[in-house]
Structure 1
């Protein structure tokens, strides 16, 4: 091997190692509150796709809070519900909406927008009263207090009734995003919300004996 070929080979290896190191650093996370790989991925996607507007920002901020309340409601089922179907549905709701919160948070971060904190001003320990005339389907503090105190069959009925209303609000918000939004991943998520939550409303209506 000539000296020139050895030099070229060493240069290529060095560049490859540098690229790998930068990739690992970009995807990594530490304990100092830096973005996780999931949030970083969502931010990168948002930056690459671009083309967001005010409707996309409003949808993301409002739906984050809406999802947070649904996740809180779903979290009560394990200790309060008597129906295995209700518990299973609650687990499904939490499993679907928690990742969507992270995705929308990544979008907002990439757009230079503030990710809304929960109403207690922290990232955990939500204050219940997030209801707003501008956010359809949100439960009031009184509603959430009643749900927390209920158990057994009473909880099952109350949970399903409230979650149907909650889902209907989310569908309204998603329809607005589909009509007014310009950021493709956000309008696609809105379409997914409409499909998934419409199916869950149908399921919950059946569980309530409405159909």
Structure 2
């Protein structure tokens, strides 16, 4: 039977497609088959009570290796890592309270962009740190915000490096317009510098940050907050260089 000009190519494509499907199936079937065989053999050896032969010993070794890898998630975690994650959740939560005042306190458009970035970044980081603690079967602090009041697990938030006092929070809440921008930048720089100090303290602690994820998280926080500190200092200098009184932008902020 003669094939049309395009039929050989189509036939080759069908063969190649079937080959790829078989390879994908093999990649899934083999691990599952091995896992089932491992479970069945291990169960058989336990039920008979006989000493395992060479194959049984190899299966026991693989089973132990599998368990060791599962346990490795928690084995590298130090109490310093847990304290850092727990404390940084509280620290970030106060930054959310501070930044959340921008829309109602006459913040300039530039400040609204900055505070939105802080809220987005630190909300994600809080969720990440809570998941990190949960995955390692550690206590996960619950954050609640009511106006200026921040509670952790139903009680006052622990005071970490750089966090604002109640008086400083009241000062920020009372400010408006350009003055709010100035007070916010002043205190958020203080807040960020505290976070950088927390990371430095973690890295200086023996046995801390051996967990790869904790190390990367802390490193990213340090780099990001140092970058934002430089940006906020420039913004603060710009405000200090303005003539007295709000600029037209401050009087008519963008929606």
- Structure 1: distance between partners of 2:131 and 2:89: 11
Query: Quick check: 1:117 aligned with 2:117?
Result: no
TM alignment of 1:43-122, pairs within 5 A: 49-50=73-74, 51-118=76-143
CA 1:113/1:49 → structure 2, altered by over 3 Å: closer, same or farther? closer
Query: Quick check: 1:175 aligned with 2:211?
Result: no
CA 1:57/1:131 → structure 2, altered by over 3 Å: closer, same or farther? closer
**Runs of at least 5 residues in structure 2 that lack an aligned partner in the other structure:** 1-24, 33-69, 151-155, 241-255
Residue 130 of structure 1 is matched in structure 2 by 157
CA contact (8 A) 2:80 2:202 kept: yes
CA 1:131/1:54 → structure 2, altered by over 3 Å: closer, same or farther? closer
Deviations 1:28-53 (A, max 9, x none): xxxxxxxxxxxxxxxxxx97744211
Deviations 1:98-125 (A, max 9, x none): 011001101111222222234xxxx342
Residue 212 of structure 2 is matched in structure 1 by 184
Which of 179, 184, 188 in structure 2 is aligned with 1:163? 188
How far off its partner does 1:182 sit? Answer: 1.8
Across the aligned residues of Structure 1 and Structure 2, the Cα RMSD in angstroms comes to 2.6
CA contact (8 A) 1:130 1:138 kept: no
Count of residue correspondences? 164
User: What secondary structure sits across from 1:181 in the alignment?
Assistant: coil
User: What secondary structure sits across from 1:137 in the alignment?
Assistant: coil
Residue 202 of structure 1 is matched in structure 2 by 230
- Structure 1: distance between partners of 2:227 and 2:115: 14
Which of 135, 139, 142 in structure 1 is aligned with 2:167? 142
User: What secondary structure sits across from 1:182 in the alignment?
Assistant: coil
- Structure 1: distance between partners of 2:214 and 2:181: 32
How far off its partner does 1:131 sit? Answer: 5.7
TM-score of the pair, normalised by structure 1: 0.70
Residue 30 of structure 1 is matched in structure 2 by none
**Runs of at least 5 residues in structure 1 that lack an aligned partner in the other structure:** 1-11, 20-45
CA contact (8 A) 1:59 1:173 kept: yes
- Structure 1: distance between partners of 2:122 and 2:165: 20
- Structure 2: distance between partners of 1:81 and 1:188: 36
Bigger radius of gyration: 2
CA contact (8 A) 1:137 1:169 kept: yes
CA 1:47/1:109 → structure 2, altered by over 3 Å: closer, same or farther? farther
TM-score of the pair, normalised by structure 2: 0.58
- Structure 2: distance between partners of 1:163 and 1:157: 10
User: What secondary structure sits across from 2:100 in the alignment?
Assistant: helix
CA 1:117/1:151 → structure 2, altered by over 3 Å: closer, same or farther? same
